[in-house]
A and B are shown apart, each in its own frame.
Chain A
């Protein structure tokens, strides 16, 4: 069992360094957080906004950056009816300040000490904490030899609606191009580009059986995305023989922009 963070979770003021567009609906917000205590891949922060009349509201956002990075990156998807995400994705400018609390979560976390194989299953913006794990793995193993990589192979099964909705599409392609122990398998559920040869349906049992390592390999599995996708994928993985304790889930609730 992972030891809980021993420091109290407090609110801090973070300064926006950059807002980077990822897709038409998502932005990565790069933050400078003074005295950031460090985090683990998979953790999240709460962001608090305060209106002029004192009304406050908070939302949780997954951390996209690996623990090795100095700056904290959050990737935020704009929800049409959202109270916080439209502000974060459209109004936020470099120099603006945000209140954040974290890092939070001692459950949905992975680092190389946990080992592999590492199987990541994501839908829509559920990729964000999984990307922190992929980046952490990449940086941690970049100094190691090929043997170290082969000991912790990683696979990502990622469901998006359309080609243009794939968050981190270029970054993922670059990572897989230089690391043959990382595989990224996309499924596009709504619309596929001409000549698409990949999966074009929602994540199902057959797909998981094809993509996942057999249960005997004891892959460490992390599933993140909208609640229905997470629950169906996690239940199917357990049916396929994976130990429930090795299947960790992070439900995002009923977010809109997913597969």
Chain B
């Protein structure tokens, strides 16, 4: 009796785990489809920066790779925009727009270097 209910519980847990895995996998695939380039976020960045920063280089605080902002992986289908490092997938920058503010979280960028026009 006890072992039967234990077995049932184990089965239930396994089922739940599979469901979680499946929905996670589905979400992953869906997010993969929606991924665009940092280039696409140039307009949104332009609301904060005085220039187009897609040709600026952002250094990932996670792995140290310095990549052009235009080449970051951007997910912009949610409430805001998340730009991830193409090398380690770490979050480099996040931006969100509310009716009164534009928010920038750049903790994932160790530095952002903009070339000066000569």
CB-CB under 8 A from A46, the residues of chain B are 43
Per-residue CB proximity of B90-118 to A under 8 Å, as 1/0? 00000000000000000000000011111
Q: How far is the CA of A234 from the CA of B85 in the complex (A)?
A: 17
On chain A, the number of residues with a Cβ less than 8 Å from chain B's Cβ atoms is: 31
Interface size bucket, B side?
20 to 34
A110 near B: Cβ within 8 Å? Answer: no
Instruction: Say whether B33 contacts A253, CB under 8 Å.
Output: yes
Contacts A4-B51, A108-B70 given; indicate if A250 touches B43 (C-beta within 8 A): no
Instruction: Say whether A252 contacts B46, CB under 8 Å.
Output: no
CB-CB under 8 A from B35, the residues of chain A are 227, 231, 251, 253
B61 near A: Cβ within 8 Å? Answer: no
Chain A residues numbered 217-259 whose CB sits less than 8 Å from any CB in chain B: 226-228, 231, 248-254
Q: How far is the CA of A8 from the CA of B115 in the complex (A)?
A: 15
Instruction: Say whether A227 contacts B51, CB under 8 Å.
Output: no
CB-CB under 8 A from B55, the residues of chain A are 1-4, 106-107
**Interchain nearest-CB distance for B48 vs A (Å):** 11
Task: Please count the residue pairs between chain A and chain B whose beta carbons lie under 8 angstroms apart in the complex.
Answer: 97
Instruction: Say whether B51 contacts A107, CB under 8 Å.
Output: no
The prevalent SS among residues of A at the interface is: loop
Chain A residues numbered 1-28 whose CB sits less than 8 Å from any CB in chain B: 1-9
Q: How far is the CA of A4 from the CA of B113 in the complex (A)?
A: 11
A138 near B: Cβ within 8 Å? Answer: no
B81 near A: Cβ within 8 Å? Answer: no
**Interchain nearest-CB distance for B28 vs A (Å):** 13
A102 near B: Cβ within 8 Å? Answer: yes
B57 near A: Cβ within 8 Å? Answer: yes
Instruction: Say whether B57 contacts A1, CB under 8 Å.
Output: yes
CB-CB under 8 A from B42, the residues of chain A are 9, 44, 104-106
Q: 16 A-B residue contacts at CB 8 Å?
A: A1-B115, A3-B117, A4-B56, A4-B114, A4-B117, A8-B50, A9-B42, A9-B43, A44-B42, A58-B43, A104-B39, A106-B55, A107-B37, A227-B35, A248-B71, A251-B35
- Residues of B near any A CB (own CB < 8 A): 32-40, 42-43, 46, 50-57, 68-71, 77, 114-118
